């Protein structure tokens, strides 16, 4: 095998990671989606697997294949993602919500293709989807470490941390991985930069390939568990 041998410091842990972007049907041929490539979640699944964890990847639409050796559950919409995560969370030691769920879905998806009407435009009525992370936080089993992400367009690192701190409090997760996505940074790129926070502040800062950042996230998870 090529590459360094990772410490098996996650052996015995059941890890559930979500990845990719969900899609909300507008009609039988169209959907609302986003630019998530799935790379960050795939990186975390791979890192946890290398470190000895038993890993399930809940995969929405992704540009890449899941790593060999992880169990894969495919989902399409945020509703599907919510159901899969709610089913898997009770037996998970670590849950990482790296997916980019669509925040809105059609209030009333058409069961036939939406046709153009003359030259007029189209107004869609959208409603909010379930906040999966917040729902997992509300029902989480004791001892579980729950990790969320925050995609923010921030003016500075301090602003990123400020937005992340508000989001972490709102969601009720243990750790939040904050990414600045200003100008399309992060999405689809091999490299990323993140500030990892908990309720008392910054616990780590990391930059590099998503695989390197994934290992930093695993380190932060283990540190959080050791600190209990
Ligand atoms: N998330 C979720 N369910 C949703 C939306 C987001 O579980 N319906 C999760 C994401 O997977 C991520 C975290 O919540 O771990 C933050 O996602 P983000 O898009 O940054 O925040 P939102 O809460 O959706 O708020 P907004 O997009 O308005 O900033
Ligand atoms: Ca969102």
Counting every residue written for the chain, the total comes to 228
Which is more confidently placed, 1 or 189? 189
pLDDT digits (tens, 9 = 90+) for 64-116: 999 999 999 999 999 999 999 999 999 999 999 999 999 999 999 999 999 99
pLDDT digits (tens, 9 = 90+) for 143-165: 999 999 999 999 999 999 999 99
Task: For ligand 1, say whether the CB of 21 is within 6 Å of any of its atoms.
Answer: no
Which is more confidently placed, 3 or 48? 48
Residue 182 pLDDT: 84
Report the pLDDT averaged over residues 135-150.
97
Is residue 181 very low, low, confident or very high in pLDDT (cuts 50, 70, 90)?
confident
Bridge partners of 16, per DSSP, are 56, 95
Task: For ligand 1, say whether the CB of 105 is within 6 Å of any of its atoms.
Answer: no
Bridge partners of 122, per DSSP, are none
Report the pLDDT averaged over residues 14-36.
97
Residue 79 CA: which ligand is closest?
A: 1
| Of 68, 47, 45, the residue nearest 4 (C-alpha) | 47
Closest CA to ligand 1's atom 8: 131
Task: Work out which ligand 1 atom sits closest to the CA atom of 130.
Answer: 8
Is residue 6 very low, low, confident or very high in pLDDT (cuts 50, 70, 90)?
low
> Which two three-digit tokens encode residue 77?
């919409």
pLDDT above 70: residue 4: no
Residue 186 pLDDT: 73
Percent of the chain with pLDDT over 90: 89
The sign one gets for the Cα dihedral 20, 167, 10, 91 is: negative
Closest CA to ligand 1's atom 16: 150
Closest CA to ligand 1's atom 14: 133
Task: For ligand 1, say whether the CB of 178 is within 6 Å of any of its atoms.
Answer: no
pTM, two decimals, is: 0.95
Is residue 184 very low, low, confident or very high in pLDDT (cuts 50, 70, 90)?
confident
Cα 2 to ligand 2 centroid, rounded to whole Å: 37
Could you count the other beta carbons within 10 Å of the beta carbon of residue 131?
A: 17
Residue 214 pLDDT: 97
d(CA 43, CA 55): 12
Task: Work out which ligand 1 atom sits closest to the CA atom of 167.
Answer: 23
d(CA 147, CA 221): 8
Could you count the other beta carbons within 10 Å of the beta carbon of residue 202?
A: 14
Query: Residue 79 in 3-state DSSP?
Result: helix
Report the pLDDT averaged over residues 8-21.
98
């Amino acid at each position: 095998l090529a590459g360094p041998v990772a410490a098996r410091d996650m052996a015995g842990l059941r890890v559930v990671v979500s990845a990719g972007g969900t899609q909300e049907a507008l009609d039988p041929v169209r959907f609302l989606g986003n630019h998530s490539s799935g790379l960050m979640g795939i990186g975390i699944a791979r890192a946890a697997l290398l470190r000895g964890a038993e890993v399930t990847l809940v995969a929405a639409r992704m540009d890449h294949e899941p790593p060999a050796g992880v169990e894969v559950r495919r989902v399409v919409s945020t509703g599907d993602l919510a159901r899969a995560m709610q089913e898997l969370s009770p037996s998970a030691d670590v849950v990482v919500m790296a997916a980019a769920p669509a925040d809105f879905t059609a209030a009333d998806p058409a069961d036939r293709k939406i046709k153009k009407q003359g030259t007029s435009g189209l107004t869609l009525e959208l409603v909010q989807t379930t906040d999966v992370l917040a729902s997992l936080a509300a029902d989480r089993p004791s001892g579980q470490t729950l990790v969320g992400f925050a995609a923010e367009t921030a003016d500075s690192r301090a602003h990123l941390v400020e937005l992340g701190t508000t989001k972490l409090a709102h969601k009720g997760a243990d750790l939040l991985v904050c990414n600045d996505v200003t100008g399309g940074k992060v999405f689809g790129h091999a490299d990323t930069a993140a500030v990892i926070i908990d309720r008392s502040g910054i616990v780590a800062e990391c930059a590099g390939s998503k695989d390197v950042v994934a290992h930093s996230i695993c380190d932060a998870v283990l540190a959080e568990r050791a600190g209990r």
